[in-house]
Amino acid sequence: MSQKPNKKITRSIIFIALAGQIAWAVENQYFNVFMYNEIAPIPIFISIMVAASAIVATVTSILMGSYSDVKGKRRSLMLIGFIFWTITTSIYPFSALFPKIEFAIAIAIIFDCLMTFFGSTAYDASFNAYITDVTTLENRGKVLSLVEIMTIISILITYGFSGFIIAAWGYFILFFIVGTLVGIFGITGAYLAEEPKNLELLQINILDHLKSTFKKENLSKNKDIFLVLTGATMWGIGFNVFFPYVLIYLQNYPLVSLDVLAASLIVFIAFLVAMIAAYPIGIIIDKIGRKKISLISIVFEAVSLFIFAFMVNIVLLFIMGTIWVFFMTIWTISTNTWIKDLYPEKKYGQFSGYFILFTVLFTMVPGPLIGGWLSQEFGIPFVDENGIPGYIPTPIIFVAAAIIILISMLPIIFAKEHSFNS
């Protein structure tokens, strides 16, 4: 059984969520922008990097999540992970120092994968399981809304200050500051964390722990969680068609052409509004239910992205950007809560890994590849100041994303809300 979080555990959740999401926000957006602006303006290289880090995140999360279940450890893995996550975040821009483009790209991808390994160990495998350990069905939505608030605050920090830092001091200082913040908040949060009371050393090896999930009777019991995860996959594919390129689009699409500061502020304001709404959303989700809220968010997310594709005025971009971020927040809280409700006992870490499999690997490989392909096939070709040919993404990435997100409704309709022990 999960336990109810006390004040110390709640503080640990807040610190860890803030640290992890600052790191992921920078990795998901500014690693891409850095590669595009400082190494080569070729979207497919970004797609390859995103796909490689997604594979690393998934394998790490499943194996280390299962390890944390079997060994009954969350806190020590979070501590070790955050120490090295700090270092590997800070070194990323050194990849641009290599003169040959292909070699610089390869080093950037390797650095990203190293950062992802330690981040997934600390956050995806250990912290996600820890949240499930220390919450109950009655309070999980509220606690996950706090996590989402920290996610949004991290995005506000990232988008609100990154443009200023890049303009004033460059990317090296940005990544050093981010790495430092990840260390301060993450290590503090992991130190405050308590090993969950329900965790115990399991008399089973990691391989058998993994294999038991796929026995026929367990697959049948876990049917609903895999339906929700499938819906999350379709949503994530759609989201990743456009999101890795959204700042590049806002900066470079000729009918928009915002500078990096204005482009970052659009995202900043959108997430600020979503942050204000996040906690009430968690309370509503706990009262009304996960399924209804999830279905509503699908429809409004798709519609808002479709309209966003045709906006060129900065005020309208602010408005529609805020709407799609708002419904993205609702989707995230409702489905993440629903999925954690359905985790089988003694497999929280392992299923945190499957959560990453469905929401990271299955989304961040095809999604950015589709977006990268659309950006080159239907994008605007150009040559940068260094004579390197590239492509500017066009609104088609938002239209494609809206269509794919609508498809996520199908598995969600058939999934049930319930909990069980295994």
pLDDT beyond 90 at 395: yes
CA atoms within 13 A on the CB side of 144: 32
Instruction: Check residue 7 and give its pLDDT.
Output: 83
Q: What percentage of the chain has pLDDT greater than the value 90?
A: 44
Residues 315-364: tens digit of each pLDDT: 899 889 889 988 998 999 899 889 888 888 778 888 888 888 898 889 98
Q: Is residue 157 part of a domain?
A: yes
More confident site: 306 or 271: 306
Instruction: Check residue 411 and give its pLDDT.
Output: 96
pLDDT beyond 70 at 422: no
Q: How confident is the model at residue 3 (pLDDT cuts 50, 70, 90)?
A: low
Q: Tell me the pLDDT of the chain averaged across its residues.
A: 87
Average pLDDT over residues 267-275: 78
Q: Is residue 422 part of a domain?
A: no
Dig out the tokens for 417 from the structure: 């809300």
More confident site: 159 or 204: 204
Instruction: Check residue 419 and give its pLDDT.
Output: 47
Q: Is residue 170 part of a domain?
A: yes
Q: Is residue 421 part of a domain?
A: no
Average pLDDT over residues 94-113: 92
More confident site: 232 or 37: 232
Instruction: Check residue 420 and give its pLDDT.
Output: 36
Backbone angles phi, psi at 346, to 5 degrees: 65, 10
Q: Is residue 1 part of a domain?
A: no
Average pLDDT over residues 366-391: 87
Q: How confident is the model at residue 185 (pLDDT cuts 50, 70, 90)?
A: very high
Number of independent structural domains in the chain: 1
Average pLDDT over residues 147-162: 81
Of the ranges 191-200, 209-218, 317-326, 339-348, which is most confident?
A: 317-326
More confident site: 402 or 51: 402
Q: What angle do CA 335, 336, 337 make, to 5 degrees?
A: 90
Q: How confident is the model at residue 180 (pLDDT cuts 50, 70, 90)?
A: very high
Instruction: Check residue 231 and give its pLDDT.
Output: 96
Q: How far from the centroid of its chain's Cα atoms is residue 316's Cα?
A: 26
Q: In CATH, what number is assigned to the domain containing residue 47?
A: 1.20.1250.20
Q: What is the pTM of this model?
A: 0.76
Residues 235-253: tens digit of each pLDDT: 999 999 998 888 888 888 9
Q: Is residue 243 part of a domain?
A: yes
pLDDT beyond 70 at 136: yes
- Domain carrying residue 61: 7-414
Instruction: Check residue 346 and give its pLDDT.
Output: 77
Q: Indicate the range of 106-115, 188-197, 231-240, 269-278 predicted with least confidence.
A: 269-278
pLDDT beyond 80 at 112: yes
Q: Is residue 65 part of a domain?
A: yes
